[in-house]
Amino acid sequence: MIRIFGILTGLLFTVAVLWSFIVDTGAAISEPAPETAEEKYHLYPKGPEGGFAHEGLFAKWDTAQLQRGYQVYKEVCSACHSLRLVAFRNLGEIGYDEGQVKAEAASWQVPGVDPNTGEATMVEGSPTDYFPKPYANDIAARAANNNAIPPDLSLITKARHDGTNYVYDLLTGYREQPAELVEEFPEAKTAEGQYYNPFFHSLNISMAPPLTGTGQVTYGEGNPEPTIEQMAEDVTAFLAWTAEPTLVKRRQTGWAFLLFLVFATVLAYFSKKQVWARAKGGDVGEASVKED
């Protein structure tokens, strides 16, 4: 009796689940959800032409580029974005020598204590300090940025899908909002204090285009011209480095490991031949067979 009751209950549940599945699928096919502006106009990032030096089969850090990227971060982005996981001493990894790291650190003001009064104040940075935050707290950050918080950039290329290409395209992707978009989706019109950028998830971002024109930063001699695209590529490479300084090493270790695997496979093949030679009546010398 209990068994029949159990089977019937099970059947009832199965029928209920199947029924709701069929009804919902039918509804989704007959009345699809209306397309949104984000679905229609959002663009997926492609990254710079030719890609980044640290990507692909023969990845390597282009230290000249990373230094240019650091310069763009320092002169442009650091006004709003922190880099809280990076210390000045880390700059030694992108080709600055000890003296330069000290000088760079000293060119930043970080929170410290006044040695005479003991009060909190800003002091020159030293290599062990971390990059300072531009705002005292989130409230101050929001107040200065149309109620949006500029995120910390240390891990941003990891925190977004296809992050390196995304950051590059976001920086170079600002444009006029298409008139037909506003016509079709009036509610998606770019609001006051926002800017249209089809790479941003909601199409309208509260960051004014940070890179505005060629020559915004001055690169040292022997470097390419600081066009918007060049500065965007450089700062993005720098942010890829802050997010994963060991990326290139990891790739190189991968190669060494692959080579080892090939070697081990060859070795395994020959030992297999050797071990099975007798059983298969192979080419092991006559003498050794007789000895058995």
Report if residue 81 touches ligand HEC, rule: CB under 6 A: yes
Tell me which stretch binds ligand HEC (CB under 6 A): 76-84, 99-107, 119-127, 178-186: 76-84
Shortest spacing between CB 203 and ligand HEC, in angstroms: 10
- Number of residues counted as binding ligand HEC (CB under 6 A): 22
**205 near ligand HEC, rule: CB under 6 A:** yes
Applying CB under 6 A, among 37, 53, 66, 72 the residue interacting with ligand HEC is 72
Q: Which long-range contacts (CB under 8 A, 24 or more apart) does 54-63 make?
A: 54/237, 54/240, 54/241, 54/247, 54/248, 55/164, 59/247, 59/248, 59/251, 59/252, 60/248, 61/94, 61/241, 61/248, 62/237, 63/94, 63/95
**In this complex, which beta carbon is closest to ligand HEC, that of residue 125 or of residue 150?**
150
Q: Kindly state whether residue 188 participates in binding ligand HEC, applying the rule CB under 6 A.
A: no
- Cα–Cα dist 221/128, whole Å: 29
C-beta of 159 vs 258, nearer to ligand HEC: 159
226 binds ligand HEC (CB under 6 A): no
Q: Which is nearer to ligand HEC, 88 or 135 (CB)?
A: 135
| C-alpha count within 13 angstroms, C-beta hemisphere, residue 81 | 21
Residues 6+ apart with CB under 8 A from 256: none
The CB density around residue 46, as the number of other CB atoms within 10 Å, is: 13
Q: Is residue 77 within the footprint of ligand HEC (CB under 6 A)?
A: yes
Q: Is 148 in the site for ligand HEC (CB under 6 A)?
A: yes
Task: Mark out the alpha helices in the chain (DSSP H runs).
Answer: 2-30, 37-41, 63-75, 98-106, 138-144, 156-159, 163-172, 179-184, 228-243, 247-276, 286-291
Q: Which stretch binds ligand HEC (CB under 6 A): 10-18, 31-39, 69-77, 249-257?
A: 69-77
Q: Cβ of residue 225: shortest distance to ligand HEC, in angstroms?
A: 17
226 to 151, 175, 240, 253: CA distances (angstroms)? 25, 20, 19, 34
- Tell me which of 42, 84, 133, 160 binds ligand HEC, using CB under 6 A: 160
Give the list of residues 6+ apart from residue 142 with CB closer than 8 angstroms, or none. 148, 149
CB of 226 to ligand HEC, least distance (A): 12
Q: How far is the CB of 207 from ligand HEC (least distance, A)?
A: 3
Q: Is residue 237 part of the contact set for ligand HEC (CB under 6 A)?
A: no
156 binds ligand HEC (CB under 6 A): yes
Q: Which residues bind ligand HEC (CB under 6 A)?
A: 72, 76-77, 79-81, 145, 148, 150-151, 156, 160, 167, 170-171, 205-208, 210-211, 235
